[in-house]
């Protein structure tokens, strides 16, 4: 199998190119190998993600994109190779790493019986205390003003996705790992999410995202599996 390819598109949206040269490497992987059902998903996979960067993972269905995210987030240990958090083996930095991580999977991360407000309140209670004022503000920013107390099963798929993505606005996590977050979003939602990714990177955070969407963010790196 051909190793995954990593490239940096020649797309510049206002960020000084020297930024990526001076930013600290947040997460990196070396010689990652994974197979499933006797089929190699990826091998000799190397990558780095620095503060202020967005890494887009591309590839056809079944190429291992979600599996890779699960490995990076500690949800799958069936791999070989090394993963480091700020230069240290991730196994020795578990508390710091998971405290800095926000993972949103490809399934809509809401309980459909609950309201967007209740979902967000429950999610926050796991890690931090956030006032209802902040929760309402986050839901309004993702376009759910007036729907905060509607049960999620009454909302469209795109609105449910917006409710899930509201977590990005209240999280202190430095590393966002997002699996197909643009799915079901309309044009306004696509623009909103791109803006959130840009803002997070501009503030020194990092993003690893799987998507087929043509991202327009500064300091974008792309890695293709398969």
Q: Which two tokens stand for residue 177?
A: 């790992």
Q: Which two tokens stand for residue 29?
A: 């992987």
Are residues 23 and 123 both part of a single domain?
Answer: no
- Give the residue from 131, 7, 134 showing the smallest Cα distance to 58: 7
Are residues 132 and 117 both part of a single domain?
Answer: yes
Are residues 125 and 225 both part of a single domain?
Answer: no
Residue 28 sits in which domain range? 1-100+179-226
Mean pLDDT for all residues in the chain: 90
Are residues 208 and 151 both part of a single domain?
Answer: no
Question: Which ranges in 28-73 belong to alpha helices (H)?
Answer: 65-72
Report the number of distinct structural domains present in the chain.
Answer: 2
- Sheet with 39-50, side-by-side order of all strands: 39-50, 25-36, 80-85, 88-89
Are residues 118 and 145 both part of a single domain?
Answer: yes
Whole-structure pTM value: 0.89
Are residues 3 and 89 both part of a single domain?
Answer: yes
Are residues 210 and 190 both part of a single domain?
Answer: yes
Are residues 11 and 78 both part of a single domain?
Answer: yes
Give dist(CA 114, CA 34) in Å, integer.
37
**Residue 72 is part of a domain; what is its CATH number?**
3.40.50.300
With cut-offs at 50, 70 and 90, classify the pLDDT of residue 13: very low
Answer yes or no: is 106 within a domain.
no
Are residues 93 and 38 both part of a single domain?
Answer: yes
Are residues 165 and 185 both part of a single domain?
Answer: no
pLDDT in tens, 20-69: 456 899 999 999 999 999 999 999 999 999 999 999 999 999 999 999 99
């Amino acid at each position: 199998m051909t190793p995954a390819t990593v490239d940096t598109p020649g797309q510049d949206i206002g960020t000084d190119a020297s930024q990526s040269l001076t930013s600290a490497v947040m997460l990196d992987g070396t010689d990652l190998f994974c197979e499933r059902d006797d089929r190699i998903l990826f091998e000799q996979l190397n990558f780095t993600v620095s503060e202020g960067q967005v890494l887009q993972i591309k590839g056809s269905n079944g190429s291992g994109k979600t599996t890779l995210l699960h490995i990076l987030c500690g949800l799958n240990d069936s791999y070989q190779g090394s993963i480091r958090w700020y230069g240290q083996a991730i196994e020795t930095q578990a508390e710091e790493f998971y405290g800095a991580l926000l993972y949103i999977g490809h399934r809509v991360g809401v309980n459909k019986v609950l309201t967007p407000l209740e979902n967000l309140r429950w999610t926050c209670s796991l890690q931090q205390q956030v006032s209802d004022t902040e929760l309402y503000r986050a839901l309004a920013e993702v376009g759910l003003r007036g729907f905060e107390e509607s049960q999620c099963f009454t909302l469209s798929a795109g609105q449910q996705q917006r409710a899930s993505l509201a977590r990005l606005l209240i999280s202190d996590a430095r590393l966002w790992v997002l699996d197909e977050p643009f799915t079901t979003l309309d044009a306004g939602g696509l623009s909103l999410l791109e803006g959130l990714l840009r803002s997070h990177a501009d503030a020194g955070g990092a993003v690893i995202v799987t998507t087929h969407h043509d991202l327009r963010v500064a300091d974008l790196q792309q890695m293709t599996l398969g």
